[in-house]
Structure 1
Amino acid sequence: MEYSQDMKNRLKRLEGQVRGVLRMMEEGNHCKDVVTQLSAIRSATDRAIGFIVAKNLESCIREAGEEGKNAEDAIQEAVNMLVKSR
Structure 2
Amino acid sequence: MLVCCQEILQLDDKDMDDVILRLKKVNGQIQGLIRMVENSDNCEKVIVQFQAAKAALDKTYSLVLDRSLKECMSHNDTENVGRILKLISKH
Question: What is the match of residue 60 of structure 2?
Answer: 48
Partner of 1:18: 30
1:2 matched to which residue of 2?
A: 10
**C-alpha RMSD of the superposition:** 1.8
Higher helix share: 1
For 1:80, the aligned partner's letter is K
Report the CA distance between 1:82 and its aligned residue. Answer: 2.1
- Which residue identity lines up with residue 47 of structure 2 in the other structure? V
Partners of 1:10 and 1:81 in 2: how far apart?
Answer: 22
Unaligned regions of 5+ residues in structure 2, if any?
Answer: 1-8
TM-score w.r.t. the length of structure 2 is 0.70
Describe how 1:1-86 pairs up with structure 2 within 5 A. 1-3=9-11, 4-62=16-74, 64=75, 70-84=76-90, 86=91
Code of the residue aligned with 2:84 in structure 1: it is A
Aligned residues: 79
Runs of 4+ residues deviating >6 angstroms: none
Structure 1 segments unaligned to the other structure (5+ residues): 65-69
Identical pairs, percent? 25
